Structures are given as structure tokens and as C-alpha cells.
Amino acid sequence: MEPGAEELMPRLLPVGDWDLAEDFDPTVPPRTPQEYLKRVQIEAARCPDVVVAKIDPRKLKKKQTVNISISGCQPAPEGYSPTLKWQQQQVANFSAVRQRLNKHRNHWRSQHLDSNVIMPKSEDEEGWKKFCLGERIYSEMDALSDNENIGIDYMKVGFPPLLSIVSRMNQATVTSVLEYLINWFGEKKFTPELGRWLYALLACLEKPLLPEAHSLIRQLARRCSEVRVLEENKNEEQISALNLIICLVSRYFDQRDLADEPS
């Protein structure tokens, strides 16, 4: 220790120069308090003043993940900001949907699913993306031809969020599927299929929100605001859907800092 360090770091257990036994061996367990304190002194003196961490440079070459969070949503494009009355009406409608869902959950859960409805396991992210969005959107295939429109192939177009399906999903599954679809939305465009499932999963989220769900819906609202700004053709139907999700996250789930300012 440097001479001046004593003033900044006074000793809590000052150790004097005791008369230790001639056979004192610092490598064996101490037999007296004096031997113990002397052994601590010796070990402290052997510690280097500067310690350099050994870092494997190969690990630094790997892709680093940095999560950056902004406080709010980007404002709606000029002329597309929803009115306060519209937002209040959407919250009221959404609240009514949640009440009906909770009231009849057991009934819908008891209904038999069609033989072609095979719900993926909770941890099967790719399976749920295909189930909700369909192989056509998942694989980014072209729209169905007229010949294929004769019958609906839900494996291609995705299963809708039927009450008989979402009523079977516990909160862990709801949160997981919501995360899968938000991850998808983070890199892909917004589609009606995605919008229907996001609305249904939000309707299934129980309050108070778990921390994970709280973070997910805030991420979702921010992503909606980003896509809304980048919408080149200003498709009113799509912007309205994005406004709806932001409205529900901010005003129903009490994330008011993300709310759109009324037009």
C-alpha cells in the first residue's frame, strides 16, 4: 500500500508488532488472534497493486446485442393522428371484448377443435409463426391464385384467432406467442393476419401485467409508430390498425407516455 493511502483508508484492525513465536508459519492455520491478523497482513502485502483481467479477444469478435429504449412513440403522420373520442371508444370496445372473453372462456375451451387445428407447443416459435400467419406469409410467397381460392387452406393462410383456440392458451403461452409475433413484426411488414392475432393476444393478457408482458407491449407500440411513419402509400386502413394497437397499449394498459396526442 502506498504511504499516503493510510489517510484515505484507515485500518479497521490495526496490527502492531507482536512477539510471535519463533516457529510461526504463515502457511498453517493460525492458532491465536495475533497470528491470524499477521497472516492477513502478509497476504495483503503480496497482492499486486494493479490487476489486469484476462479477456479472450475471440469473444469480442462475436456479434454484440445492444438494446436501446426510447421513451415514447413517434407521432402519427400529419392528418392521421386519432382523436381522443376515437381512442376512448376503442378502449371501451376492447374492454367489452375482454369481459366477454373472460365470461365465456370455459365454454369455448370445451369446444372441440377441427382435426386440422394442431396448436404448436408453447416454445415452438417457428411453429406459432406459421400457425398464426400461414406458410404463405411466413415463407413470403406470392398471393394465392384463383384456383387456390376454391377452398381455404389454413396451413397456407394461417389460422384466425378463434375463441376456441385462444381460450386454450394459458398466460405463459399468450406471452410467448406475443413475443414471437412482435419479433416477426420487428423485421417484417404489417399484415391483417398479424393485426388480428396481436389484438386477440392483447385481449387475453391478464392485468396487472407481468414485467415481461409490460416490456413486450411497449416494444409493440413503438414498432407500430415506426411502421406508421414509414407507410409510403398512407393506407388509411393499415394506419388505423396501427393507431388501434398504440391506443390499446397506451390507454387501456396504462402506458400513457406512448399515447398519441389527440388531433
Mean of pLDDT values over 77-105: 94
- For CA atoms 204, 208, 210, 214, the dihedral sign is positive
Cβ neighbours of 130 (radius 10 Å): 20
State the Cα–Cα distance between residues 136 and 128, nearest whole angstrom: 14
State the Cα–Cα distance between residues 94 and 87, nearest whole angstrom: 11
Question: What tens digit of pLDDT does each residue of 234-256 get?
Answer: 788 999 999 999 999 999 999 99
Q: What percent of the chain has pLDDT over 90?
A: 51
What are the percentages of helix, strand and coil residues in the chain, rounded to 5? 55, 0, 45
What's the Cα-to-Cα distance from 173 to each of 35, 120, 137, rounded to whole Å? 61, 10, 22
Helix axes 125-138, 192-204, angle to 10 degrees: 150
Q: Which domains does the chain have, with CATH numbers?
A: 84-141+153-258 (1.20.58.1070)
Tell me the pTM.
Answer: 0.69
45-78 core/surface letters (b: 16 or more CB in 10 A; e: else): eeeeeeeeeeeeeeeeeeeeeeeeeeeebeebee
CB within 8 A of 171, min separation 6: which ones? 204, 205, 206, 210
From the centroid of its chain, how far is CA 215? 5
Place of cell 394506419: 239
The grid coordinates listed for 183 are: 419479433
Q: How many residues does the chain have?
A: 263
pLDDT at 68: 45
Confidence of residue 25 (pLDDT cuts 50, 70, 90): confident
| 44-48, 63-67, 97-101: segment of lowest average pLDDT | 63-67
Given a cut of 50, whether residue 257 has pLDDT beyond it is yes
pLDDT at 26: 73
Given a cut of 80, whether residue 73 has pLDDT beyond it is yes
| Alpha helices, DSSP H, located in 114-210 | 125-138, 154-157, 163-166, 171-185, 192-204
Mean of pLDDT values over 137-146: 60
Confidence of residue 128 (pLDDT cuts 50, 70, 90): very high
Given a cut of 90, whether residue 175 has pLDDT beyond it is yes
The grid coordinates listed for 257 are: 407516455
pLDDT at 55: 72
CA count, 13 A, side-chain hemisphere, 140: 5
pLDDT at 22: 64
